[in-house]
Amino acid sequence: MIFDCHTHLFTIQPNARVDRDEQALMAQRMDHCGIDRAVILGPVGEFGFEPTPDQIEIANAHTTDAVINWPQRYVGFCYLNAQHDPNWIDHHMHQCLIDGPLVGVKIWVAVSARDTRYDPIMHRCAQWNLPLLFHAWHKTIHHCAEESDGWAIADLARRHPDVQIIMAHLHGVGCAGVDAIADCPNVLVDISGGQPMAGHIEHALRRIGHERIVYGSDWPVRDFAGQLGKLNGLGLSDDQYRAITSGNLLRLLGARA
């Protein structure tokens, strides 16, 4: 089984209508690459770096529709912006994650991971045993708003050791990002982000082990085959391959998978 932890559906039709053709296209491409299931993280980026509450609701409605329409293929994470009123965030989390079918939280770039405005979100994740996938990228120029790097993710993880965090984009944070979170056992790393670069996954295997690495593609920004190909030629054992491509994510999701 291959379970992709990092995908998006981006198309927002006029009047916020859902594009179900895009849902079907993604499932078709998954079939071509032997990918069984995928986590949809919402159309992040379609509303800019600082989406409004209304835009967050639209994004999560699109993810929810895909999960309901394709329950055997897709699970969804609830996209949030920590700039919003904590009471509104809490209400929306209840709608999506308790009353709705979503199974985790997705954070992008509106607020740095060092910011204490994440504390209420993290407390809910701990209470409801939800994983949180946090975009991370190490840049010296051209930052996207309050983009977080590996050190910021480590700061968040140490403040909330009871929440399981997936630090997205191994090929965005690089080896230094892996080193930053190495002593944070509640942080896993997904292998998405950029084109394959020699040595990054090998370094992660040495520093944090295969139990803390998960496969993610970042479809449709990156293609399934190219990202899955990162694992080929690494000499992984069957157990290591199964853990990275499905087992570690299934462990985080538990009965919600």
> Could you tell me how far CA 10 lies from the centroid of its own chain?
15
Residue ranges of the chain whose pLDDT lies below 70: 14-16, 141, 195-196
- Identity of the amino acid at 181: I
pLDDT for the residue numbered 72:
96
pLDDT for the residue numbered 16:
66
- Using only C-alpha atoms, the chain has a radius of gyration, in whole angstroms, of 17
β-pairing verdict for 104-107 and 132-134: parallel
Collapsed DSSP state (helix, strand, coil) of residue 117: helix
Longest Cα separation, the chain = 49
> Which token pair is 211?
């139990």
> Which token pair is 146?
């309050």
pLDDT for the residue numbered 229:
87
pLDDT for the residue numbered 78:
98
Residue 93, exposed/middle/buried by CB under 10 A (0-12, 13-18, 19+)?
Answer: buried
Model pTM above 0.85: yes
pLDDT tens digit sequence for 160-182: 999 999 999 999 999 999 999 99
Q: Quick one: CATH architecture of 3-256? A: Alpha-Beta Barrel (3.20)
Instruction: Assess contact for 66 and 9: CB atoms under 8 A.
Output: yes
Distance CA 167, CA 189 (A): 5
Q: Which residues of 172-198 are buried (b: 16+ CB within 10 A; e: fewer)?
A: bbbbebbbbbbebebbbbbbbbbeeee
Structural domain spans, the chain: 3-256
Closest CA to 188 of 164, 171, 159: 164
